[in-house]
Amino acid sequence: MIYHSLFHTIMSYGIMFWGNSPHSPVIFKMQKRVIRILMGIGYRESCRESFKELKILTLSSQYISLCYCLLFIIGVTVPQIVYIIALTPDKKNDLHLPQVSLIVYQKGVFYSAIQV
């Protein structure tokens, strides 16, 4: 309860916009530090099992799950022409990235959601 009320709310605020930034590893280290403090684990021990025991998603897992949710919501409301589905039999359900040249769009939420 302490984790969700004090750390998780701050960490997950706006994660769709900053989840793929170069500063996200720093936030992940903070998340691991909080888990280690809560579980009483040493700083050199792995906290992977603690994440599983507490049923908490890591920062990258939260970002990926939100990207999937975004694609599901967008896929219903945006016309299918935006996401071109491959016609080859072995890659039927692959989403192709739109051909864009703007770096700002490539670093945006929708483009990174398709990449994930």
pLDDT the model gives residue 1: 80
How many other CB atoms are there within 10 angstroms of residue 33's CB atom? Answer: 13
**What's this model's pTM, rounded to 2 decimal places?**
0.66
SS3 label, residue 57 = coil
Q: How far apart (Å, rounded) are the C-alpha atoms in residues 14 and 11?
A: 8
What distances in angstroms separate CA 75 from CA 15, 22, 88, 97, 102, one per listed residue? 20, 28, 21, 14, 23
Q: How far apart (Å, rounded) are the C-alpha atoms in residues 77 and 38?
A: 41
Note the pLDDT tens digit of each residue in 52-101. Answer: 998 998 888 888 888 878 777 776 444 443 444 444 455 555 556 667 77
Note the pLDDT tens digit of each residue in 11-56. Answer: 888 888 787 788 889 989 999 998 998 889 998 899 889 889 989 9
